[in-house]
A and B are shown apart, each in its own frame.
Chain A
Amino acid sequence: MATPTMDKVGTDPSASPASPYITVTFRIRRFNPEVSDEAQWQDFQIEIDPKERVLDALHKIKWDVDGTLTFRRSCAHGICGSDAMRINGKNRLACKTLIKDINPEKPITVEAIKGLTVLKDLVVDMDPFFQAYRDVMPFLITKGNEPTRERLQSAEDRERFDDTTKCILCAACTSSCPVFWNDGQYFGPAAIVNAHRFIFDSRDEGGEQRLEILNDRDGVWRCRTTFNCTDACPRGIEVTKAIQEVKRALITRRF
C-alpha cells in the first residue's frame, strides 16, 4: 500500500508559503428601493487572498466596509443553495467560486440572478421559483398498501435518477435560462430536474401525472436546449440531458 510521506509535501498546498494578499475590485450591482428606484454599480477595492471564495470577499465588504450590502448565504460550501449569483456574467454559487479562478486582475462583477424580481442588492424573490417546483408534485407517489419493510430497488434503478437527486434548489439553472428570462410562466430547468428525479424513480407511480403537467404550454417543450442550465449547475447535474429525457418520456411514454 502506498503510504504518503514527506515526499507528498511538494504537492500539498499547505506546504507552500501563505500566498500574499492581492487587491481586487468587486463591481457590485446595488439596488435598494428604500433609497432609490434605480439600480447602480458600485466598486469596492479590497485586499484578499485569491484562494478565498467570492463569498469571503462579499463578507469582507459587508463586515468591514459597507454593512448595507445584502445577500443570502448560509452553509458557505455549496450545499444549501442560498448564494447563487451572477459573477462575471455567469451564474455561480459565491461560496464555491474561488477568486483566483475568475481573473482577479480585472474588476469582478457581481449581480443578482436574472429572471426573478430583485428585492435588494443580490436578493431576489424566490417565491415563483419554489412555486414552479411545488407544481411538478415533487414527492414520491405510490399506490396500494405500504410494505412493512423498505421498498426494494436495484442499484441500477437507483442509479437511473442519481444525477437529479443532487439538486439544491439554488436557481442557478433556472435563472440562466433565456426562455425563463422572457417568460416567467415557464417551469424552468430546476422544476423539470425535480420532476425527472421522481419520473425515473422505479418506486414512483405518479409519472403520468407529472408528465401531463410538463406537457403543458409552459412545460418542457419550451426548452430550446441552449445548455446554459447545465453550464450553470454548481452540482454538476446534466440538466439539459434530464430535460431531454423527460421530453423523450413524453413521446414514448416509457420511463
Chain B
Amino acid sequence: MQIHKYDTVIVGAGGAGMRAAIESTKRSRTAVLTKLYPTRSHTGAAQGGMAAALANVEEDNWEWHTFDTIKGGDYLVDQDAAEILAKEAIDSVLDLEKMGLPFNRTPEGRIDQRRFGGHSRNHGEAPVRRSCYASDRTGHMILQTLYQNCVKEGVEFFNEFYVLDLLLQEDPETGLKKSAGVVAYELATGEIHVFQAKAIIFASGGTGKFFKVTSNAHTLTGDGQAAAWRRGLPLEDMEFFQFHPTGIWRMGILLTEGARGEGGILRNKDGERFMEKYAPVMKDLASRDVVSRSIYTEIREGRGCGPEGDHVYLDLTHLPPEQLDAKLPDITEFARTYLGIEPYTDPIPIQPTAHYAMGGIPTNVEGEVLADNTTVVPGLYAAGEVACVSVHGANRLGTNSLLDINVFGRRSGIAAAEYSAKNDFVELPENPAQMVVDQVERLRNSTGTERVATIRLELQECMDANVMVFRTEQTIKTAVDKIAELRKRYLNVSIQDKGKRFNTDLLEAIELGNLLDLAEVMATSALARKESRGGHYREDYPNRDDVNFMRHTMAYREVADDGTESIRLDYKPVVQTRYQPMERKY
C-alpha cells in the first residue's frame, strides 16, 4: 500500500473534475484521480451545447434562463443556485472560448447559438437561441479543451486509478465528520493507494448504467455516490432520473436535442407531429420529461412505429443535407453506422433513453458536501452529475449539464483549494485501506456461483421495466423487491480473473455493487414520493403535490447494531427566492 499526500484531490476527470483541476492546480498541490484516461470521460459524449444568455443572435438575458431552469425542474430547483448557474453561464462560456474552444460562429464572428428544449424568451413566450455549440460535439470540444488546459497548467493525473472509498474522521465530541482522504485501486498493478488530502472534490459522474437502454457509458456506475453513501453521507433526490427523448431505438445512443433545435420533428406511425398535441407552444422543444412521456403515450396508445410499435421517428428529412452536414454530422453518422439509415431521406427510429441523474451527493452553492440538511462536511466537495446542488430539480434542461460542470466545477475547484490553503491534514483513520482490501480480497477469493453479468442484466431489465418514464406503487415495489433479491445474490458473486494486472473483471464486480446500492436508494426514494414532478411520473399520483412534496428527498443509510442495513428518508426544503410555483405548460 502506498500513501500519497496532496493539498487537493479530485476524483474524476470529466468536465467538472478538469474544470476544478484548472483552478485548484493554480492554487494548491492537486492530484486528479480518474478510472479512465481524462479524454475518455463521458462529458465527451454530450452533443448539443451549453446554455448561456449571451444574446449573440437574439434578445436574451440570464433572468429568463433562471426562470426556464426553475420551471424545467418543475419547481424543485433551489432558486438561489439556479440564479448563480444562469448568471455565471455567460463568463463560463467566454472562459472556454478564451481557453480555445472552437465554437461555431455567427456571420459576425461571435459564438453562434441555437434553440434547445425548454429554453424560452420572456418566461415561455417562444423558443430562444441560447445554446452555445460546437457542431454536435460540444461535449467533446469541452472535454478536449479542458484537458488541453490541464496539460498547459501541468495538472497531475493518476490515470486508471479507481477510487473505492472515502475516508472520513468523526469528531469524538461533536460527532461531526471531516474528510481525510480517499482510497484508490490502481488498475495496472492491483496496488492499493491511500491519498491523504486536505480537500477532496468528487466529480465522478453519473450512474445511468443501472438502466439497460441508456445513453451512458459502461463506466458510469455511480462510484462516487456509492462511496459517500457507504460512509453515511446522504443522497438527495435520487428518484429523479432523466430519460432523454431521442435515443437510438433499442441501443440508447444519444441523438442530440439539437436535432430538434435545428428543426427536426418527432412523428408517430401515422406521420403525425404528435408533440403539437402535448406542448402547443414549444412543441418538439418542450422539456425532456414532457417529450419522453408523450412518446410513450403515443406508443402505449398504439401509434408507435415498426412491427412491435415500440418506437417513434425523429424526422430530419425536410432539413437541407448541407445543414445536417454542418450542424449535426455526428448524430447522422450514428444513424448510418448503427442503423444503416440515411437521415437525408429516412426518419430515424428512436425511443427515450436513460440519460442523467438529477440527484446525487447534496452540496451547497460552493460545492461543499452536506452531511444533513445544513451541516457541511469540512474539506469535502462535489460537482457535476455526481452532485445535487440542486440546479436541475426534478428535470434538467438540455445544455444545462455542460453548464453545471463548468460553473460548479470552477466554484468547487476554487473553494477546495482555498480550504486546503487554510487548513491542515486530517489524520487518517487506522488501517485506512482496510475496507477496500477486504472488498477486493473477498471478490478475488470468492467461490460463489453467481455471475456479475447475470445480476447486472437482471438489474437493468428490472429498472427499465419498473422505474423508467412511467411508475406506479406496484412497479416500484416490484423493483424494490427485485433489487433486494439481487443484493443478496451479489454476496455470492465470484469472478474468473484472480490476477492483479488490469483486472477489469474485478472492477466490474465492484461497479455492480455500486449500482445495486444506488438502485435501491433510487427505488426507495421513488416509492415514497407520491406525486408526479418532472422526471418522476407516478401514474397513481399523476399530479404535482406542492403541499406535501415541494421538498427534496434526503436518503440516509442506516446500519443497525446487528449489521442490518436500511434506508431512512428525510426531506429538505426547497430554496425559493422570486418564483412562485405555477402550473407547468409548454
- Contact A34 B499, CB 8 Å, known A77-B253, A152-B109: yes
Interface string of B453-482 (1 = CB under 8 A from A): 100000000000000000000000000000
B435 sits at the interface (CB 8 A): no
Asked if residues A74 and B110 are in contact (CB atoms below 8 Å), the reply is no
Interface string of A5-21 (1 = CB under 8 A from B): 11011011111010000
* Closest beta carbon of chain A to B26's beta carbon, Å: 15
- Contact A14 B305, CB 8 Å, known A1-B318, A80-B44, A139-B148: yes
Asked if residues A155 and B151 are in contact (CB atoms below 8 Å), the reply is no
Asked if residues A139 and B504 are in contact (CB atoms below 8 Å), the reply is no
Instruction: List residues of chain A with CB within 8 A of the CB of B37.
Output: 82, 126, 130
Asked if residues A77 and B151 are in contact (CB atoms below 8 Å), the reply is no
Does more than half of chain A's interface fall in helix, strand or loop, or is it mixed? loop
A75 sits at the interface (CB 8 A): yes
A3 sits at the interface (CB 8 A): yes
Instruction: List residues of chain B with CB within 8 A of the CB of A12.
Output: 305-306, 341, 346-347, 349
Asked if residues A15 and B318 are in contact (CB atoms below 8 Å), the reply is no
Closest A residue to B139 by beta carbon equals A79
Name the contact of A80 in the complex, choosing from B45, B333, B340 (C-beta under 8 A).
B45
* Closest beta carbon of chain A to B522's beta carbon, Å: 22
B565 sits at the interface (CB 8 A): no
In the complex, identify which listed stretch (A39-47, A62-70, A179-187) lies at the interface while the others stay far away.
Answer: A62-70
Chain A-chain B contacts (Cβ-Cβ < 8 Å), number: 190
Interface residue total, chain B, C-beta cutoff 8 A:
77
A140 sits at the interface (CB 8 A): yes
Q: A152 to B346, alpha carbons, bound, how many Å? A: 37
Instruction: List residues of chain A with CB within 8 A of the CB of B347.
Output: 4, 8, 12
Asked if residues A165 and B141 are in contact (CB atoms below 8 Å), the reply is yes
Asked if residues A158 and B104 are in contact (CB atoms below 8 Å), the reply is yes
B99 sits at the interface (CB 8 A): yes
Asked if residues B337 and A5 are in contact (CB atoms below 8 Å), the reply is no
A222 sits at the interface (CB 8 A): no
9 of the cross-chain contacts (CB-CB < 8 Å) are A14-B306, A72-B40, A74-B36, A74-B42, A75-B40, A79-B137, A130-B37, A150-B103, A158-B104
- Partner-B contacts on A (CB < 8 A): 1-6, 8-9, 11-15, 17, 32-35, 62-64, 66-68, 70-82, 96, 98, 119-121, 123, 126, 130, 133-134, 138-140, 146-147, 149-155, 158, 161-162, 165-169, 198, 201, 203-204, 236
Q: Name 17 extra pairs, CB < 8 A, besides A3-B267, A168-B140.
A: A1-B318, A2-B317, A5-B270, A17-B307, A67-B452, A68-B496, A68-B497, A75-B40, A79-B330, A80-B36, A119-B501, A121-B502, A147-B98, A150-B111, A152-B108, A158-B105, A203-B100
